[in-house]
Chain A
Amino acid sequence: MNSRWRPYLLGIPGLVIITFPFLWLQLDPDFDKHTVGISWAPSHGLQFFGDLSPVFLVASLIWIGVQANRHFGWDKSLAQNQTWQQTGRAWTHYWAWGIMPLVLSGSLFLSASILSLLTNVGIYMLLALGLNITVGMTGLLVLGYAGFFGFGAYFFALSQQNLPYFPWWLAGPLAFVLGGGVGYLLGLPCLRLRGDYLAIVTLGFAEAFREMMRNLDLTGSDRGIILNDHSMFRSFAGLGSGQMGYLFTALLLFLAVFLLQRLYHSPVGRAWIAIRENEVAAASVGVPVVQMKLLAFSLSAAIAAVAGVIYGAKDGFVSPAMCEFQQSIMILAMVILGGLGNSYGALLGAALLYLVPEYLKLVPSMIQGHPFLGNVIPPFLRDALQHLSDYRLLLFGGVMVLMMLYRPQGLLGSSRRKTEMQHT
């Protein structure tokens, strides 16, 4: 008993001590003498914990659910060693096809703002799918994915702005090829070395690309490029441009998922998985490791470029902010949250990470307006919810750590995957 609880006995007071000054004290700068004093500010700390109280509530509910699950064995079937071959075939054919008409028909009856939101979700789903190839299937960390996204977007915007005869629909396929080319060039020196270098090189590329776009007037410097047409998607057959954009993105997504699933169940996909599990062993059975890695990375980059083109076409606006490190991390988190190596996981992760912060922002006004909820929820909780969206990045960080500690296979991963992730 002693040794099991010892880390907590020492750790929790330790944590309290090191967070003490930031939570419970506040700085009082003295502007005349240019010094600084300190004073008690317990309100800061109380507000911090108060604002997070809904999170604690939800977390305890989840914890209870997990314990109950373990106790009652509700997801025993997840523990079965399903070969991904089985699951793959089933997913690809029946379930996805069924969903397709539902999703596409959404373009007819959903409002413009919802369609815009969902199209954005679709773009991020595409990005997550692309990153999944390198990070999820092949196991290579990429930190500058947003750079390729920006590359595609700027390519589109620049070509539209400066080459009047450039047909807009050509931008997509061309971006695919060019993006793949850039990925190939970047990957060539790095993938022969240890995999971590790819992470830092892609990060450097994203930062350098972003700076270059910011510095040159040709690329609109910090303002970005605003295209004359609000959206490149033309109205067609009675559907507005927003609806066309949504349809296009949805169709492209279905196509991408389909093609990628086929790819994953081919020798190429199996090679990627082999590399992810053990590079040396893969090489020893004849997998051309470097070429496969290059293929994965180039394909990822190409998909990101296409996503960039769609984003630029949808809003008619590209800016250097698209290539920021935070974007790359967000996409990485989407892939990891959903489950590495799992296409559907990437889609789910993208949807969750994009939509949940939006909901958090809307929750306060929803509760205020709602006749029933407005009275049931106690005021301090309401205040907390008001500020909750300020805490979203804090929660994001915490969730990532917890996911890696307790559920590294992501939301849709199998426990076989968990074993993979936890023991190399």
Chain B
Amino acid sequence: MRKLHLLLSLGIVLVAGAALTSCQKSQDSKPVEASTIKIGMAGAQTGSDGQIGTSMLNGSKIAIDEWNAKGGVLGKKIETVILDDEGKPDKAVTVAQTLVDSGVVAVIGHFNSGCTIPASRRYNDAKIVEISPGSTNPQYTEQGFPYAFRICGRDDQQGPVAAAYMHDKLKLNKIAILHNKTAYGQGLAEVVKKTFESLGGTVVMFQGIGQDERDFRANLSVVKGSGAEGFFWGGMYSQGGPLCIQLREAGLNIPFISDDGCFDQSFIDTVGNTANVFLSFGKDYHDLPAAKPFMDKYKATFNQQEGAYSVYGYDAANTLLSAIDQAQSTEADKVTAIMKNRPFDTILGKVEFDSKGDVKQSGYVMWTIKDGKLQVLPDGP
């Protein structure tokens, strides 16, 4: 009979806990009478992309703090619900469900394309506006969801820039491509392959490798044997860094080109002043007038330099809040109508969304590492 007592008491604790949390949640899911406006923020805060994801959301936090200092939006303070999806698609779906259930009116996130795409369905079904600062896979906005937006570019804009650079500027005819098998990395790699081949080049190796692999020697031997003149990595910085180092150690001094996933300080730290390294990324905002105050504020608040996507996080939050303000409502349809019809002023310049939710003019340019910093190539496209 003691076992029964143990079981029952544990069961009661569980049910009580569930009831308590449900009380909490149901209390908060009454947005109209609530005194705050809830904005959800989702992204990878732990895991291999944790650094870049956190810095992205930090940028958004700065924007939200600024709005709150001015009294919030629509007369109410903004409350954030920040959740970590660890960069994994299945966790992202859970996070999305949780955000929907906690009554957010809009979501800034996610970071990884593989997370944003499945999560977006939830938000769309719940009529919640989602704006992603960093997901570049085209499928996100191609799904036909009216409430899905992104403020970064798409891989089918980014890929061709890299491919064109490799073919036209670096004059490479044969390249080898390795990707990390995720929606983002593989998607981008495939775009690069297609564009490169359409420009007349040949892709002599196209392979994928798992996200927790760090030993690339066998792949690099294949690269050597294939006679590739250049190497493209579709993936993130935590593998891109070691890959680049091992590439050089294998004796291959061929150009190493990668994507925005490697655009992070830790990549520079790993790779150092290695020559012949190129990354594609959005335009350089460092010289734009609005950027400096943001960068200073970021450094003051978080004690480190801003991350690659911090500016995008900031701009995404600002755009969203401006749209809510201009629509004078948090209803998804009204906010979406504003977002798709008016231009917004951001650090990156004027931003306009097209009917799919993509940014109308997004320019990807090539960057390289010089003097320990990433710098835009002057003659890049």
Chain A contact residues, CB within 8 Å of chain B: 29, 31, 34, 74-75, 77-78, 87, 95, 110-114, 116-118, 211, 214-215, 221-224, 226, 230, 315-317, 319, 321-322, 344, 348, 351-352, 355, 359, 362, 365-366, 369, 390, 411-412, 414
Q: Is the interface of A mostly helix, strand, loop or mixed?
A: helix
A114 to B26, CA, bound (A): 10
* A351 neighbours in B (Cβ, 8 Å): 14
Is B186 a contact partner of A113 (Cβ separation < 8 A)? Answer: no
Is B7 a contact partner of A412 (Cβ separation < 8 A)? Answer: yes
A-B contact pairs, 17 of them (CB 8 A): A74-B2, A78-B2, A110-B22, A111-B101, A117-B18, A211-B210, A215-B181, A221-B186, A222-B183, A224-B90, A315-B93, A319-B90, A321-B88, A352-B14, A365-B24, A366-B21, A412-B7
A322 to B89, CA, bound (A): 10
Is A111 a contact partner of B181 (Cβ separation < 8 A)? Answer: no
Given contacts A321-B90, A362-B21, contact A224 B118 (CB under 8 A): yes
A215 to B118, CA, bound (A): 18
Given contacts A118-B18, A221-B186, A223-B89, contact A113 B3 (CB under 8 A): no
B17: contacting residue among A31, A74, A116, A355, CB under 8 A: A355
Is B4 a contact partner of A222 (Cβ separation < 8 A)? Answer: no
* B182 neighbours in A (Cβ, 8 Å): 222
Contacting residues of chain B (122-140) with chain A, CB-CB under 8 angstroms:
125, 139
* A315 neighbours in B (Cβ, 8 Å): 93
Chain B contact residues, CB within 8 Å of chain A: 1-4, 6-7, 10, 14, 17-18, 20-22, 24-26, 46, 88-91, 93, 97-98, 101-102, 114, 117-118, 121, 125, 139, 181-183, 186, 208, 210, 269, 272, 372
Is A317 a contact partner of B118 (Cβ separation < 8 A)? Answer: yes
Q: How far is the CB of A306 from chain B (nearest CB, A)?
A: 19
A321 to B89, CA, bound (A): 8
A317 to B90, CA, bound (A): 8
Q: Name the residue on B nearest A227 (C-beta).
A: B121
A344 to B90, CA, bound (A): 28
Q: How far is the CB of A401 from chain B (nearest CB, A)?
A: 22
16 extra interchain contacts, Cβ-Cβ under 8 A, other than A111-B22, A317-B90?
A74-B2, A75-B2, A77-B1, A77-B2, A110-B22, A215-B208, A222-B182, A222-B183, A223-B89, A226-B118, A317-B93, A319-B118, A321-B89, A351-B14, A411-B6, A412-B3
Q: Name the residue on B nearest A79 (C-beta).
A: B2
Is B118 a contact partner of A78 (Cβ separation < 8 A)? Answer: no
Q: How far is the CB of B275 from chain A (nearest CB, A)?
A: 15
Given contacts A222-B186, A321-B89, contact A113 B25 (CB under 8 A): yes
Is B114 a contact partner of A369 (Cβ separation < 8 A)? Answer: no
A223: contacting residue among B3, B24, B25, B114, CB under 8 A: B114
Is B121 a contact partner of A113 (Cβ separation < 8 A)? Answer: no
A114 to B25, CA, bound (A): 9
Q: How far is the CB of A150 from chain B (nearest CB, A)?
A: 11
Q: How far is the CB of A181 from chain B (nearest CB, A)?
A: 26
A118 to B46, CA, bound (A): 26
B101: contacting residue among A110, A113, A214, A221, CB under 8 A: A113
- Rank and list the top 6 A-B pairs by shortest CB-CB distance, nearest first: A113-B101, A223-B183, A222-B182, A321-B90, A319-B89, A114-B22
* A223 neighbours in B (Cβ, 8 Å): 89, 114, 117-118, 139, 183
* A226 neighbours in B (Cβ, 8 Å): 117-118, 121
B6: contacting residue among A95, A224, A369, A412, CB under 8 A: A412
Is A95 a contact partner of B4 (Cβ separation < 8 A)? Answer: yes
* B101 neighbours in A (Cβ, 8 Å): 111-113, 116
* A117 neighbours in B (Cβ, 8 Å): 18
* A87 neighbours in B (Cβ, 8 Å): 3
Given contacts A113-B97, A224-B118, contact A359 B17 (CB under 8 A): yes
Is A222 a contact partner of B22 (Cβ separation < 8 A)? Answer: no
* A29 neighbours in B (Cβ, 8 Å): 269
Is A116 a contact partner of B97 (Cβ separation < 8 A)? Answer: yes
B24: contacting residue among A214, A369, A390, A412, CB under 8 A: A369
